[in-house]
Amino acid sequence: MLNRLIEWSLRNQLLVAAGLVVAIAAGVWSVRTTRIDAIPDLSDVQVILYTEFPGQSPQVVEDQVTYPITSTMLSVPYAKVVRGYSFFGFSFVYVIFEDGTDLYWARSRVLESVAGLQSRLPQGVSPQLGPDATGVGWAFMYVLNSESRSLAELRSLQDWYLKYGLLAVEGVSEVASIGGFVRQYQVEVDPVRLRAYGLSLPVVRRAIQESNADVGGRLIEVAEREYMVRGRGYVRELRDLETIVLASGPGGVPVLVRDVANVTIGPEIRRGLVDWNGEGETVGGIVVVRSGADTRSTIERVKERLAELAGGMPDDVEISVAYDRTGLIERSIETLTDTLLEESIVVAVVCLVFLFHFRSALVPILAIPVSVLLAFVVMRAQGLGSNIMSLGGIAISIGVLVDASIVMVENVHRHLAAHKGKRSHFEIVLRAAQEVGPTLFFSLLVITVSFLPVFTLEAQEGRLFKPLALTKTYSMAMASVVAVTVVPVLMFWLVRGRIVSERRNPVSRLLRFVYRPLVAGAVRLRWLVIVLMIGVLASSLAPLKRIGSELATCSTCRRRCRACRSGRHGRSSSRQTGSSAASRRSCPCSARSAVPRRRRTRRRCRCWRRRSC
């Protein structure tokens, strides 16, 4: 079948050329539109629930908010871990799902479970979903600086102007405000005056809540015109709060809020601050990119929107960039791009030196970008982004991509030297390609499937190495297809003219002059060579046992930990018996509390340099 495919490609060169142009155009489009980031996203599929319970201690938040939510989230389909954290006044619950779960499907299922939680939570407490992003989405930060404005004014500009403008940018999941002071109306009640009027705090709170609202009435028709009736009661200034009526005093005189409290504008209690270059406090914003969005293009849109919003800011307020991942992305991509270019140049030089024919060397040189572009088409279709791992897979496959092309070109050279003038150029190229093409195709497929075990990795290690394995697999698969379709056509077009035979090639003659005696000696002394190789292999076992690792502990430490965990040495407690105390003293791990760490592990463990010991 492959021989027929090679023959069809040579007999339909125009169709192959047209398909090649379309493939290159699709590859260029895929490269330009593939989302780019510096690092792969190793985060689990998780949904965050944030719940406020103002003024309550962590224990109360744990009992009345965190526990009901976590116990309900355990029944969500495909949820493998549920973690709850209780703080003063608020709670966080993290629902982590199994790998492969769609993020938005998971969010919808969590929302369904939250809908039935209201009856189990305190009145007025409602959980909120966190942003549809991961930790890798923290990609851009900016600060507001001004020499004449207070931190409260800068925070108001951030919360009520910049934040909503940036949330409308495509790809932005959240804009978090940090630093400064959140302005609020503060009612400082005097308990003495409150008691003198016979009132309580719930009365004051209820009166303020009921007075801060607009109410609607019906319509009034006057002179064939309709007028809407409404009561405007939103608080707009301090005087509106001060004149709220709490109750009726002696003689029908109303008791106002200002009679029992001082009303001021002050800052909300802060849980953190932001410092800018050691010059003092400032106000900033954190832009979180949505999961699956193109980080670099999203940051560029955020910068453009910030430039637009800066025109509506006061003249004395300056927006400065505190963190921008674009530089890291561009440096990472530039490094890998330079590496790919250098590898391509090295391959081209090697091809020129060994083939000793410029146009013949163009065949493997052109096969490299075609295979890479076709790999990008598959990446774009799968939704796989470009990062240091996915591009690294292409980088490590560059040297293998040209193997089939070089072998086929060399075979054409050999056939031309043997049959030039006896057969047509078409027949020579066809027979040379059919002679080695199928074998090379299957050899590339064997190299392609060599990375299949990487796809069995799970969790974070799987999310880290799978992009590399996928791009490596795609590149090799596309190279095998190019070898039996495009390469024969390129050889028919380019491998022409004066071809230097292998025997007349000075580089080949030099290498054969050096290599033949070595091979002859190795074959003649084959048992000695085998023994030497076994000795070299055995000598590598000693350093292999002493080499450091972060994925496993040494056998000595593992045996000790298992012994202690199984309880064979007893447990340390105030009611320890004599036998258990003796067994603890006999345990090698019992010296950990008495002997300095490095000195102890140096005597008993071979991997004493590792922190895990």
Residues contacting residue 209 through CB under 8 Å, at least 6 positions apart = none
- Whether residue 125 contacts residue 65, with contact meaning beta carbons closer than 8 Å, is answered with yes
Which of 352, 289, 357, 273 has its CA nearest to residue 323?
A: 289
Q: How many CB atoms lie within 10 A of CB 59?
A: 9
Burial of 164 (0-12, 13-18, 19+ CB in 10 A): exposed
pLDDT of residue 329: 87
The stretches in the chain having pLDDT less than 50 are 551-613
Rounded to 5 degrees, what angle do the CA atoms 488, 494, 499 make? 105
Residue with the two structure tokens 């202690």? 564
pLDDT of residue 494: 84
- Whether residue 11 contacts residue 477, with contact meaning beta carbons closer than 8 Å, is answered with no
CA distance 533 to 541: 13
Query: How far are the Cα atoms of 58, 106, 118, 317 from residue 83, in angstroms, in the given order?
Result: 15, 16, 20, 41
DSSP annotation of 159: I
pLDDT of residue 460: 81
Residues contacting residue 604 through CB under 8 Å, at least 6 positions apart = 556, 588, 591
Q: How many CB atoms lie within 10 A of CB 61?
A: 24
3-state secondary structure 501-570: CCCCCHHHHHHHHHHHHHHHHHHHCHHHHHHHHHHHHHHCHHHHHHCCCCCCCCHHHHHHHHHHHHCCCC
pLDDT of residue 548: 67
pLDDT of residue 47: 93
- Whether residue 184 contacts residue 212, with contact meaning beta carbons closer than 8 Å, is answered with no
CA distance 332 to 523: 48
CA distance 519 to 525: 10
Q: How many CB atoms lie within 10 A of CB 579?
A: 9
pLDDT of residue 595: 38
